[in-house]
């Protein structure tokens, strides 16, 4: 990609270059172009109304269940961030925007609802009560994040993008929940993570679904309207900022996951960063709850695991970078042991 400086000397303005650099990666493939259109000065992306399909009503998030840690109270639900009281999970409708400055959710019709701090504790996958919101990062999530591929920078990222396919259903069903996603958060002292997520037995019982998430300031979880997907469907998941080039701590982000086969999608548009600098990028994460046996995992695909491919990452200046992913395996000492691992760099493959 032509650098910002090179393009400016050729007569193109910095503003035009910014739109070009962001647009080239946001519309990296013709597949993405089917779902996006450029609409504003900063390259805001909206989804064409023409692709909005009639979506099956989402089911409630799964209850913690009998296999959860004994410390988790009855009635709690499973999220990609641990166990939460249902009243602390905000289910956003299409067009809803989470506003940090107003501590509110703004609706498409112009009205808004105040967001109060969650009145209930939440818990990690191991059942540890979280008293500090900054304790939700992967090293503290423990059993939830089994393995993940990540990079971090002293600056910031402007976008992360990946494609992956919906696996077949797990062979066994023990009430487990499996999440597969990419995303961004702050490397040190993080308070929130933004991520497009594929989940098994999450919003849809014993089935796959997609949802975009922003969590967990003041103990609250924000989930965009989920959508059902089917095994074999091709997914596009991406997170990108809506600020000008060089903005390290951007306050406006879009989180989108699209099913190429059925046109279903889930999106958080113009969602807040809660004051965080997103300098930690994830190319692929496997997160689980209530795994009893190896058959609770979905069958591996042709690469021997779950592949996140066509990876693309932008820095805060919207320059394309080549991510040197490092795979972390957090499964040591856990039961069951299912040949966990991972490989890079052509694509991120998480194995089990």
**Residue found under tokens 């009205």:** 111
**How far apart are the C-alpha atoms of 37 and 19, rounded to whole Å?**
12
- The per-residue pLDDT of the chain, averaged, comes to 81
The most confident of 6-15, 22-31, 340-349, by mean pLDDT: 340-349
Give residue 304's Cα distance to chain centre: 23
Element (H or E) spanning 139, and its range?
helix 138-141
DSSP structural state of residue 247: -
Q: What is the pLDDT of residues 290-309, one digit of tens each?
A: 899 999 999 998 778 999 99
pLDDT at 170 over 70: yes
| Residue 321 in tokens | 């970078």
13 pLDDT exceeds 60?
no
Cα three-residue angle 105-192-337, rounded to 5 degrees: 130
How many other CB atoms are there within 10 angstroms of residue 16's CB atom? 12
> Rounded to an integer, what distance in angstroms lies between the CA atom of residue 226 and that of residue 79?
13
Segment 27-52 mean pLDDT: 33
Give the residue carrying structure tokens 């400016």: 8
Whether 348 shows a pLDDT value over 90: the answer reads: yes
Which two tokens mark 306?
Answer: 């779950």
CA gyration radius, the chain: 19
Task: Give the model's pLDDT for residue 318.
Answer: 97
- Model confidence at 102, pLDDT cuts 50, 70, 90, reads low
Tokens 């962001």 belong to 22
- In sequence order, the β-bridge partners of residue 314 are 159, 320
Q: pLDDT-based confidence at 134, cuts 50/70/90?
A: very low
| 60 pLDDT higher than 50 | yes
Q: Where are the domains of the chain?
A: 35-351
Give the mean pLDDT of 109-136: 78
The pLDDT of residue 132 = 53
**Average pLDDT score over residue span 212-229:** 91
Average pLDDT of the residues in 54-71: 69
Percent of the chain predicted with pLDDT > 90 = 55
Please, what sign has the CA dihedral across residues 286, 287, 291, 296?
negative
CA distance 238 to 194: 10
- List % helix, strand, coil for the chain (3-state, nearest 5): 10, 35, 50
The pTM assigned to this predicted structure is 0.76
Residues 273 and 253 sit within 8 Å (Cβ to Cβ): yes
Least confident of 29-43, 165-179, 211-225: 29-43
Identify the residue whose tokens are 């939830």: 144
Residues 262-276 have pLDDT tens digits of 999 999 999 999 999
Q: Cβ distance 53 to 262 under 8 Å?
A: yes
Kindly state the tokens that stand for 118. 């969650």
Using DSSP bridges, classify how beta strands 129-130 and 82-84 pair: parallel, antiparallel or unpaired.
unpaired
């Amino acid at each position: 990609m032509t650098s910002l400086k090179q393009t400016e000397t050729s007569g193109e303005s910095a503003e035009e270059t910014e739109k070009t650099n962001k647009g080239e990666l946001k519309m990296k493939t013709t597949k993405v172009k089917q779902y996006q259109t450029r609409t504003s000065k900063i390259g805001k992306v909206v989804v064409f109304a023409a692709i909005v399909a009639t979506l099956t009503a989402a089911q409630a998030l799964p209850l913690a269940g009998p296999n959860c840690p004994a410390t988790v109270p009855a009635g709690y639900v499973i999220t990609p961030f641990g166990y939460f009281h249902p009243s602390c999970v905000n289910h956003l409708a299409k067009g809803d925007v989470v506003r940090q400055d107003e501590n509110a959710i703004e609706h498409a019709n112009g009205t808004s609802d105040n967001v109060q701090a969650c009145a209930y504790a939440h818990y990690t996958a191991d059942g540890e009560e979280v008293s500090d919101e900054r304790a939700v990062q992967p090293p503290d999530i423990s059993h939830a994040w089994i393995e993940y591929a990540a990079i971090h920078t002293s600056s910031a990222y402007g976008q992360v993008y990946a494609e992956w396919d919906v696996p077949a259903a797990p062979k066994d069903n023990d009430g487990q929940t499996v999440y597969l996603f990419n995303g961004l958060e702050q490397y040190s002292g993080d308070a929130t993570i933004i991520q497009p997520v594929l989940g098994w037995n999450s919003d849809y019982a014993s089935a796959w679904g997609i949802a975009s998430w922003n969590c967990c300031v003041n103990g609250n979880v924000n989930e965009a309207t989920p959508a059902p997907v089917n095994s074999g469907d091709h997914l596009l998941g991406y997170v990108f900022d809506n600020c000008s080039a060089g903005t390290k701590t951007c306050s406006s982000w879009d989180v989108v996951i699209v099913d190429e086969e059925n046109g279903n999608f889930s999106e958080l548009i113009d969602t807040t960063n809660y004051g965080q600098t997103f300098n930690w990028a994830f190319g692929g994460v496997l997160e689980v709850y209530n795994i009893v046996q190896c058959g609770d995992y979905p069958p591996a695909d042709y690469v021997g695991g779950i592949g996140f491919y066509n990876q693309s990452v932008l820095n805060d200046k919207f320059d394309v970078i080549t991510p040197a992913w490092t795979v972390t395996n957090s499964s040591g000492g856990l039961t069951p042991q299912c040949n966990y691992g991972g490989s890079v760099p052509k694509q991120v493959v998480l194995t089990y």
